[in-house]
Structure 1
């Protein structure tokens, strides 16, 4: 069982991933680009841990947590998960820096939700130990982790990843590298159609969401989910899928306009819904 985990990027997703492994009793190091970002990451994780403690969710053994600005602190990690924003160049740089310092036996994973694992693996010296570990937002309440295998991913890496996902109490699914994998490809298609319906004034946001929540038993409607994920993130994924699959994934004009206006969902306080700034 892997017990020493590194997370590169301590935003909402990275902090959630760190929290999940801490609750499983792993020692976790989060590396951020600068001291203020590292402090913000630490605050996010500590807030999550405080909430978990209040709910009686305690780690089976005392876990160590720290933040850093030095990727060299990943030297002793058995698993490093990249969780920087959904941008190919950023992710490629992050993965190269991680690979340069980790042990030869360490697994390296990307939390990408849409970028090809083979594309990200191409510059790596050891692509056989690289794969996708796609966690869902918000991580603390998500039951699923998508394990994405590249052409070069070794079976032992998949088994190691599966064991990690099991250990943190999530359910893994294994999919091969394909644009959008399984979850983003399906989820984004539904979300884009919901945005088009809103654009065409078919119904308001709440009623479009209720159609899926009550009619199809989705726990959350596609527009509220888009707010939670971030409209900018969903636009980025849609653009990747549009390039791969054509017009059925074309981002609606409404989505582009809202992103340009800074209405990004929960993180900005307004998207298809208004959100409490706290």
Structure 2
């Protein structure tokens, strides 16, 4: 794959436009392809609307200091717009194709049929679905070994994470090629199996439902729950990963807290999974035993702790929430 691979985004909605901006910003030529049957007039209206939105987004990014205002036109010009009638030529020599049509099997099947008919045999084909498993889509693609899912989080041009989910038939080299391309444009790709909810949606669904449940139960106001999330939950997990956080405090804390919460609420959703109990029995407590979910045996733990605490202080400065120092 060339340093500036040609990218095709099939589906000209929010996700397609966000991916187009992300790659155009990084210097790649991008073809934004509309796959809905439209008259010439209707497509022209769509093209103008998409171009206007992309130009507005780039202007906002310039206002935020992500680029110079003088660069917005150059970046926008890397994106070309193609109708269904022009899809064949737009797909013909694209290196990577991201499908971003509505979340129905019929829409996906039609999109992949179109893609499969016109792409180069060596092209990578990726869905961006947030709900359908890669194994359920792989059969729609010719040469299914080149297919995987790439779940971007909105807004795609800002959020670093992209969750890559290969199907059973995916060639491992395809996953590595797409991972390298995403890293090259500054994204943070992670690889997960074909599992409902992937990683982030699965975790955030639990957290969001619990927050809503606390409002329903009158535990706290929506405003205070959000404040607690921003300055407690979000603050810490912007620096430490969830499993790293378990190790930081100690897996035994989670073990006993889960037992208490399950008993106090009578709700099994607070019970810990078997791996927490196994780690307790095996002494994999975390930093204190140098083994937990992560391995700290060869790490300079005091230096690691100092680095993470420095990151906490940087977050405090960013949030303008440094402790008030007395005279």
Settle same-fold status: TM greater than 0.5.
yes
Q: By how many angstroms is 1:2 displaced?
A: 4.9
| Deviations, residues 36-93 of structure 1 (Å, cap 9, x unaligned) | 333322222222223334425267x976211111221211211110112222322222
1:58-77 equivalent positions in 2, closer than 5 A? 64-70=78-84, 71-72=87-88, 73-77=90-94
Structure 2 vs 1, CA of residues 85 and 201 (structure 1 numbering), >3 Å: closer, same or farther? farther
- Considering only aligned residues, what root-mean-square deviation do their CA atoms show, in Å? 2.4
1:30 equivalent to 2:49? Answer no
Question: Do the aligned residues in 2 keep the contact of 1:2 with 1:164 (CA within 8 Å)?
Answer: no
3-state DSSP of counterpart to 1:139: coil
Q: Secondary structure at the match of 2:118?
A: coil
In the alignment, which residue of structure 1 is the partner of 2:124? 107
Q: Distance in 2 between matches of 1:56 and 1:136?
A: 19
Q: Which has the larger radius of gyration?
A: 2
Partner of 1:209: 226
Alpha-carbon distance in structure 1 between the residues aligned to 2:49 and 2:217: 40
Give structure 1 stretches of 5+ with no counterpart. Answer: 221-246, 249-278
Q: Assess if the C-alpha contact under 8 Å between 1:110 and 1:131 holds in 2.
A: yes
Is residue 161 of structure 2 the alignment partner of residue 144 of structure 1?
yes
Q: Distance in 1 between matches of 2:5 and 2:203?
A: 33
Distance 1:56 1:143, change over 3 A: closer
From 179, 186, 191, give the equivalent of 1:162: 179
Distance 2:220 2:101 in 1: 35
What is the CA distance between 1:113 and its match in structure 2? 1.5
Provide the C-alpha distance between the structure 1 equivalents of 2:235 and 2:226, rounded to a whole number of angstroms.
9
**TM-score relative to the length of structure 2:** 0.62
Name 1:57's counterpart in structure 2.
67
Q: Is the 8 A contact 1:39 1:67 kept in 2?
A: no
Where does residue 48 of structure 1 map in the other structure?
A: 57
Between the aligned partners of 2:212 and 2:141, the Cα distance in structure 1 is: 38
Deviation string, structure 1 residues 181-222 (Cα, Å, up to 9, x no partner): 1111111221222223333343332222222211212599xx
Does the 8 A contact of 1:31 with 1:38 survive in 2? no
- TM-score w.r.t. the length of structure 1 is 0.72
- Say if 2:175 is the partner of 1:191: no
For residues 225 and 103 of structure 2, the distance between their equivalents in structure 1, rounded to whole angstroms, comes to 27
Deviations 1:152-205 (A, max 9, x none): 110111111111111110111111111111111111221222223333343332
Aligned twin of 1:39: 48
Aligned mates of 2:121, 2:28 — CA distance in 1:
20
Does structure 1 residue 8 correspond to structure 2 residue 10? yes
Q: How many residues align?
A: 221
What's 1:117 paired with? 134
2:113 to 96, 100, 103: 96
